[in-house]
Each structure stands twice: as structure tokens, then as C-alpha cells.
């Protein structure tokens, strides 16, 4: 199993979209056992094509999810609510053993991020 630090390895640097190192609360919802499950997490980074977040419980790979994230920053005139739908493409247990890192690929780009916040690196 890879640790979260391994996501910074060179093979993960080949990205289609610029990443933003942002930590904001993220609410996930997804079908599970005939019901809709909700899970709270915190983003580690986001791009117009998806996000990486920390959660306490794993979400199965290939699960379709809906997500909501409220972006608040002093540089913004108003909070931005990002809504998205995507698919879980990777799940890794955190090195500490206290949670999971989940990579979600979004169906549609999250364009608001690029228009309002400075990119990292």
C-alpha cells in the first residue's frame, strides 16, 4: 500500500489539470447497500478534473459519488459552493492507519476553482 506522501512521486505528477492545494470540508454521498450513504471528508487538493480527499471510512473504487464543497477564502468576495459528480478511482489507507485518501475523477470540470484561486507549483 502506498502512503499519502507517495502521491507526490513523479508518476503522479503527470496530470492533465493543474492542482490546487486546498483543505475544505467535502460532503460525499453515494449508493451503498440499497441506501444512500453520506460521508464527510477534507480535500487535500483539487483540480478542474477531480479531487483528492481524506475520509475516515473507505469508499469502494469505481463508486459513483456526488460531492459538495464550500470554498471560503478571504480573497473571495463570496463563498463558492462546488457541486460535482464523479467516480472513485483510487483509495489508499493513510500511513497513520487513521483514515483513507480517496481520489475522485469528476465527470465535468470544476471551472470555478481556476477562476478564483491561485495555482500551486
Question: Which domains, from first to last, does the chain contain?
Answer: 4-116 (2.40.10.220)
13-64 tens-digit pLDDT: 455 667 888 899 999 999 998 999 999 999 999 888 889 999 999 999 999 9
What are the tens digits of pLDDT across the range 103-118? 999 887 655 545 555 5
Q: What is the pLDDT of residue 87?
A: 96
Q: How far apart are CA 25 and CA 63, in angstroms?
A: 20
Per the model's pLDDT, the better-predicted residue between 97 and 14 turns out to be 97
Distance (Å, rounded) from C-alpha 23 to C-alpha 8?
Answer: 17
Model pTM greater than 0.75?
Answer: no
- Cβ(75)–Cβ(88) under 8 Å? no
Amino acid at each position: 500500500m502506498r502512503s499519502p506522501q507517495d502521491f507526490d512521486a513523479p508518476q503522479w505528477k503527470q496530470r492533465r489539470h493543474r492542482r490546487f492545494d486546498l483543505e475544505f470540508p467535502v460532503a460525499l454521498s453515494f449508493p451503498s447497500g440499497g441506501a444512500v450513504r453520506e460521508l464527510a471528508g477534507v480535500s487535500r487538493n483539487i483540480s478542474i478534473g477531480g479531487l483528492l480527499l481524506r475520509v475516515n471510512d473507505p469508499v469502494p473504487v469505481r463508486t459513483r459519488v456526488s460531492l459538495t464543497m464550500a470554498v471560503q477564502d478571504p480573497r473571495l468576495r463570496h463563498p463558492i459552493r462546488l457541486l460535482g459528480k464523479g467516480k472513485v478511482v483510487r483509495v489508499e489507507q493513510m500511513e497513520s492507519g487513521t483514515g483513507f485518501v480517496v481520489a475522485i475523477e469528476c465527470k465535468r470540470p470544476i471551472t470555478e476553482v481556476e477562476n478564483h484561486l491561485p495555482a500551486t507549483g
